[in-house]
A = this chain, B = another copy of it.
Amino acid sequence: MPFVHIHLLEGKPKTFLQSIADGVHEALVEACHIPQGDRFQVISEFKKHQFIVDKTYFDIERSDDAVIIHITLKIGRSHDIKKALYQAIVTKLASHPGLRKEDVMIILADNDPGNWSFGNGIAQLIS
């Protein structure tokens, strides 16, 4: 159910992008207990002039490796679970592909369970 949209500067190897996608998914499985198969992710690669990230906001030093991870997921996760998810993501991405924790920005969008159809025109989460 989560729909993950990863935004970063272009120029990284595919294996680097793959590691980010893998790590975000593993973190969602671990912290949010989603099923392994519940994986829907897209990656947008931007040119420098298209990707504007402040380098110091909140006293966090960001580099050109910064990624913005936008995750749509159904409403109901507690603040504790969200915090655990953020920790899990930065830990996974620090391990592979080796992202600095400062370079990982995460934004969640909650929505209604009725807002998902995984195929066949059915609203699976409310059926």
How many chain A residues touch B (Cβ–Cβ < 8 Å)? 64
- Tell me the minimal C-beta distance from A27 to chain B in angstroms: 10
| Interface SS, A side | mixed
Residue in B closest to A18 when the chains form the complex, CB atoms: B49
Copies of this chain present in the complex amount to 3
Contact of B37 with A117 in the complex, beta carbons under 8 Å: no
For A79, give its contact among B37, B103, B126 (CB under 8 Å): B126
Contact of B119 with A115 in the complex, beta carbons under 8 Å: no
Bound complex: CA A21 to CA B38 (Å): 26
Residue in B closest to A112 when the chains form the complex, CB atoms: B110
A45 contacts the other chain (Cβ, under 8 Å)? Answer: yes
- Tell me the minimal C-beta distance from A90 to chain B in angstroms: 4
